[in-house]
Copies of this chain bind each other. A is one copy, B any other.
């Protein structure tokens, strides 16, 4: 592939869109060639996100104004449902295009599961078959060869990273997984709603999507593949009064006399050499702020007071490893660049 790739960001006026841009501006092999935002077409990026004042960028346009033949890669940061039509069109118009999709549309391999969780039949089934689930550390080789990448959900990826090696190793009870996940508000997006106002969500917390959050479907898919049989974890997400961060506290029962230290060893082995996954020393508790603004995932394993129980904690930045950072990591692989290009570095803390 060429030294410089021409990139389009579809849906640039949302938080994952602006975060993609923040990362890509550091990327030595990227030329930002198109930015779309249907409702804000005609505006400059700096009007929508003043942090880009002084940065030379294309004006925002509608999707239909973009000529995909002038692009090598498209990042889709559009709402689910809409996305599958946009992607199908793009792939038919320009088969050479590589697409990194941040929506939920191509994450589920089984269209029946998609229909069940999203409430309508999938309408781009042919394209779906090509999609690769973009948890880089698990599917690195497949990702290198795909032209359609389905970037994981923020809650999903954060829990899949620790759980897949543990389930593959067969040392935790797959029928007894409880995941209590917490997220910052930016995961709720930029659409104005009463429930997301500062005065409504600061100084308090609450669970949402209890017992039925859609990211659960990704957990089912990946956990079941790892365990080799159906797995249906308990999963409850919570909104916290902070902007960024996913923090999954996972309650496990060990099998065959395995100790918490054994879980730690499995994770350390599975992710040895990974740039973006850090296994903390056994017993050390991660903090979401220590990955804020970075593409890192920090994992901790802690013993419970009772034998046979362990707590595993995984934390990421929902806009980075949970969305745009993960997307660029996949993009790097798809384009033959070093996987960490434009992504390496520690959190912004404090």
Which residues in A have some Cβ–Cβ distance to B below 8 Å? 15, 18, 21-22, 25-26, 49-55, 176, 178, 180, 182, 184-186, 188, 190-194, 196-208, 210-212, 216, 232, 234, 236, 238, 240-245, 247, 249, 251, 278, 280, 284-294, 296, 298, 302-306, 309, 311, 313, 319, 345-350
Contact = CB atoms under 8 A, between A and B. Distances in A.
B245 A205 contact: yes
Contacts of A52: 346
* 3 A-B pairs with least C-beta separation: A204-B289, A180-B180, A206-B287
Contacts of A208: 285
A290 B199 contact: no
B346 A206 contact: no
Contact of A206 (B193, B247, B251): B247
B245 A289 contact: no
A207 B191 CA distance: 23
Contacts of A201: 198, 289
Contacts of A196: 192, 197-199
Contact of A278 (B54, B186, B244, B311): B54
A200 B201 CA distance: 12
Nearest to A275: B54
A311 B210 contact: yes
A243 B51 contact: no
Contacts of A241: 198, 202, 240-242
Contacts of A185: 197-199, 202
Given A207-B313, A241-B240, A22 B348 contact: yes
Given A22-B348, A192-B197, A202 B205 contact: no
A202 B98 CA distance: 36
Nearest to A216: B305
A262 to B, nearest CB: 16
A205 B25 contact: no
A22 B21 CA distance: 20
A289 B203 contact: yes
Contacts of A204: 242, 245, 287-290, 292
Contact of A182 (B54, B197, B205, B211): B205
A76 B91 CA distance: 55
A249 B236 contact: yes
Given A53-B298, A190-B194, A243-B198, A203 B311 contact: no
Nearest to A346: B51
Given A178-B251, A285-B208, A197 B202 contact: no
Contacts of A284: 50
A206 B349 contact: no
A349 B345 CA distance: 17
B49 A211 contact: no
